[in-house]
């Protein structure tokens, strides 16, 4: 599939017409049902006519991108995601555009949004949570090895593939980094103390977010959630971490979360150590695929 769906090379052509032929256009696809809608457009299931490959086509409106001043962010997202190859990262095969819209050709994740699954079940079992957390740790180790920080790991940015495998789908806040950064970005409940305090941050922000996600998988809500934003900020700054008595969660799971949600960035549990943690070893499916039942 990868070869069939790669962006067609823009080779130097002797005429404008010859160059034009090598680009994707909307007529290359049969458009199917809508999969979802976002701030800047819609996502549809689509079939590439020539190869019969099913993809997700994300349609973004240029006017809205310009109005929100995120064109640069989109370019960076495309540049980063199109170069990533990992089973737990959604593939971006290519893109094209017309006068009004930009189209991203993405891998189709047949089982949909993780966020909807979490809403349906309220919280996940330890087996399911550990399988997902281990998968994401492996994907983030891969990203960090390529000097990419994701910076916005949360249920809304994760999809489930046809086999039940988790995929990081949105790289809107990701950056290529060779130095520490200061931009505050991401989602409040998932922000680490260093971002809340506008301090420099590095790849360890993803360890924190993964810790928040693990907590939300097991308890059904992020740990520092509060009615007022100011209270959430305060709880994050103080790492006011509490474990409710219900649902019942194992001591090993709480230990893992406690080792990830640490204010001192240098003391957060490294992702390769996370994969060796007893809770992960005992609960995560080694295949990285969660199978119900």
Whether 152 sits among the annotated catalytic residues: the reply is: yes
The residue among 94 and 13 whose pLDDT is bigger is 94
| Residue 264 belongs to a domain | yes
Q: Assign 292 a pLDDT band (cuts: 50, 70, 90).
A: low
In this predicted model, what pLDDT tens digit does every residue of 166-218 receive, in sequence order? 999 987 777 666 444 444 445 688 889 988 888 888 889 999 999 999 999 99
Q: Is residue 184 part of a domain?
A: yes
- Residue-by-residue DSSP string for 129-156: HHHHHHHHHHHHHHHHHTTEE----SGG
Q: What integer pLDDT is reported at residue 291 of this predicted model?
A: 75
Q: Which three-class secondary structure state does DSSP give residue 94?
A: strand
Mark which of 85, 107, 129 sits at the end of a domain: 107
- Average pLDDT of the chain to the nearest whole number: 87
Q: 64-90 pLDDT, tens per residue?
A: 999 988 888 899 889 999 999 999 999
Instruction: Give rounded-to-5 percent helix, strand, coil for the chain.
Output: 40, 20, 40
Query: Are residues 120 and 58 both part of a single domain?
Result: no
Scored b (16 or more CB within 10 A) or e, 212-223 reads bbbbbbbbeebb
pLDDT tens for 221-238 read: 999 999 998 899 999 999
Does some domain include residue 237?
Answer: yes
The answer to whether 48 touches 4, Cβ cutoff 8 Å, is yes
Q: 118 and 102 in one domain?
A: no
Name the residue with higher pLDDT: 6 or 274.
Answer: 274
How many domains is the chain partitioned into structurally?
Answer: 2
**How confident is the model over 123-144, as a mean pLDDT?**
97
Q: Same domain, yes or no, for 46 and 67?
A: yes
Q: Say whether both 176 and 91 belong to one domain.
A: no
70 with 128, same domain: the answer is no
**Domain C-terminal end among 107, 133, 164:** 107
Say if residue 149 is in the same domain as residue 50: no
Are 90 and 106 a contacting pair, CB within 8 Å? yes
Q: Which of 152, 170, 189, 206 is catalytic?
A: 152
Enter the pTM of the model: 0.87
Domain that holds residue 28: 24-107
What CATH code is carried by the domain that includes residue 206?
A: 1.10.510.10
Residues 66, 190 within the same domain:
no
Domain boundary among 55, 88, 107: 107
> What does DSSP assign to residue 286?
T
| Distance between CA atoms of residues 144 and 175, nearest Å | 10
Asked whether residue 278 falls in the same domain as residue 189, the answer is yes
Of 27-31, 104-108, 156-160, 171-175, the one with minimum mean pLDDT is 171-175
Same domain assignment for residues 69 and 145: no
Q: What is the pLDDT of residue 288?
A: 82
Q: What is the pLDDT of residues 2-51, one digit of tens each?
A: 434 444 433 333 334 433 445 899 999 999 999 988 778 899 999 999 99
Looking at the structure, tell me whether residues 124 and 188 fall in a common domain: yes
């Amino acid at each position: 599939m990868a070869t069939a769906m790669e962006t067609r090379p823009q080779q130097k052509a002797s005429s404008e017409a010859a160059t034009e032929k090598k680009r994707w256009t909307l007529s290359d696809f049969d458009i199917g049902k809508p999969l979802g809608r976002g701030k800047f457009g819609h996502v549809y299931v689509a079939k590439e006519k020539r190869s019969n490959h099913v993809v997700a086509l994300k349609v973004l409106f240029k006017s809205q991108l310009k109005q929100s001043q995120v064109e640069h962010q989109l370019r960076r997202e495309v540049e980063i995601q199109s170069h990533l190859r990992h089973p737990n990262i959604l593939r971006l095969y290519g893109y094209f555009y017309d006068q009004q819209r930009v189209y991203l050709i993405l891998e189709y994740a047949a089982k949909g949004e993780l966020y909807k699954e979490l809403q349906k079940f309220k919280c996940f079992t330890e087996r399911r949570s550990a399988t997902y957390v281990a998968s994401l740790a492996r994907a983030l180790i891969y990203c960090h090895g390529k000097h990419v920080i994701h910076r916005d790991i949360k249920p809304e940015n994760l999809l489930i593939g046809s086999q039940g495998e988790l995929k990081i789908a949105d790289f809107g806040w990701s950056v290529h980094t060779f130095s520490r950064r200061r931009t505050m970005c991401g989602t409040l409940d998932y922000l680490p103390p260093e971002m809340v305090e506008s301090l420099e941050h590095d790849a360890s922000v993803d360890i924190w977010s993964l810790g928040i996600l693990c907590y939300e998988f097991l308890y059904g809500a992020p740990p520092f959630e509060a009615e007022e934003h100011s209270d959430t900020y305060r709880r994050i700054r103080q790492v006011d971490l509490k474990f409710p008595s219900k649902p019942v969660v194992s001591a090993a799971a709480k230990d893992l979360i406690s080792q990830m949600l640490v204010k001192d960035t240098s003391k957060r549990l490294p992702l390769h150590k996370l994969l060796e943690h007893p809770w992960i070893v005992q609960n995560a499916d080694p295949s990285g695929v969660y199978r119900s039942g």
